[in-house]
Structure 1
Amino acid sequence: MTRLPPRARKALLTLHLVTALGWLGADLVLLTLGVAGLRGADPAAVYPAAALVGTWLFAPLSVAVWLVGVASSLLTPWGLLRYRWVLVKLLLTTVMTGLVLFLLTPKLRLLGELAGAASAHDMVDLVVAPSVSSALLVVATVLSTYKPWGRLRRSGGR
């Protein structure tokens, strides 16, 4: 397996951090918009803004984080299936990206079109989804920092 030299590895890690922080930031913006909607802010402003954030920031950043994370694991000594914490992060990110692309983004677009006609259930969803997502992104960050659980299997290398 090809390994990146240290400088390129640091550049890839930096890209991963920047995209992940962007994803968390977009998540927190969606949460803020969701709370504003529940608290009575103008739905004609809140939900179209949420649709824009979801479509142009949240969804692309989720894909970027997944792609850069996979590239990082394949091109560094951590490996994709070598350590449990990497596998858990991969599973979390894969599930979250799928939910963002196939459930949340279409729902945000619909809410943007409906604006003032959003149901109470839809309004609550715009608070719950980014709350859960933000929590899972923090869990992924903790896994990256502490690297718990050790190796999945014995293999050569690091």
Structure 2
Amino acid sequence: MPPKKKRYLGPTGARLLKIAHLLFAMMWTGCGIAVLLVLFVSQPENADEHHLRSQALKVIDDFGIVPGALGCMFTGILYGLKTPWGFFRQKWMIVKWIVFMILAVAGLIALNTWINQNALLMHDDRFVAEQSPSFHGNTLLLMVFCPLQLSGLIFMTFISVFKPWKGRKRNWVPPLPEGTPVMSVEDNV
């Protein structure tokens, strides 16, 4: 029995997958910018305002950043499996996967935890939490590491557009799936 040929998405499917990937990346990056705005522009002066800021950060994280990051991961995996690009054909793709894993793990373990801890502290007793060293420590850590997270997202966007470290010919194009019609120059004459 001959081995099965790998089935790739057609041109329309690949474009739709790219659109989905870009939308999830915009969602993740846009919500990262929103978190920075909430952290640095809002200046809470009392417990109620601290509570509001904590809840705003939690909503942005839960409904924007987490789904955006997960969507990027799933569409990236589909891209690797269902297009000729694969996962490791280009050095820039390997770098992008490494940076993605660092950002995703750091976001899940650290940033998400600090946001959720502050929201929980504020929910339990906002007047005590306002004076809590843990609450202010978490906020300071967010103010330091959220800009780094956003820098990583911008870096991934940069390498996705410019594709540095190409390991192949300059005009290399991934092979088309078998049976895809190709127009030659003579067809246009």
- Shorter-normalised TM-score: what interval? 0.7 to 0.9
Aligned equivalent of 1:91? 98
- Ranked by relative contact order (alpha carbons within 8 Å, sequence separation 6 or more), the top structure is 1
Cα deviation, 1:13-72, whole Å, max 9, x if unaligned, reads: 0000000000001111111111145x3352111012111221222112211111111211
RMSD: 1.9
Residues 99 and 152 of structure 2 are in contact (CA less than 8 Å); yes or no, is this contact kept in structure 1?
A: yes
Higher mean Cα deviation, 116-125 or 57-66?
116-125
CA contact (8 A) 2:121 2:135 kept: no
Aligned to 1:25: 30
Q: Which of 46, 50, 61 is the matching residue for 1:54?
A: 61
Matched, 1:15 2:20: yes
- For residue 144 of structure 1, the aligned residue among 151, 160, 163 is 160
Aligned to 2:110: 103
Select between 52-61 and 135-144 the one with higher mean Cα deviation.
Answer: 52-61
Contact kept, 8 Å, 1:85 with 1:143, in 2: the verdict is yes
Q: Distance in 2 between matches of 1:73 and 1:138?
A: 21
* Code of the aligned partner of 1:123: T
The gaps in structure 1 that reach 5 residues or longer are: none
Q: Among the aligned pairs, what percent are the same residue? A: 21
Q: Name 1:40's counterpart in structure 2.
A: 44
Which residue is equivalent to 2:139? 123
Bigger radius of gyration among the two: 2
Q: Is the 2:8–2:82 Cα contact (8 Å) retained in structure 1?
A: yes
Alignment coverage as a number of residue pairs: 153
- The CA distance in 2 between the partners of 1:144 and 1:74, in whole Å, is 18
Structure 2: 5+ residue runs without aligned partners? 1-5, 123-129, 169-173, 176-189
Which 4+ residue blocks in structure 1 deviate beyond 4 angstroms?
none
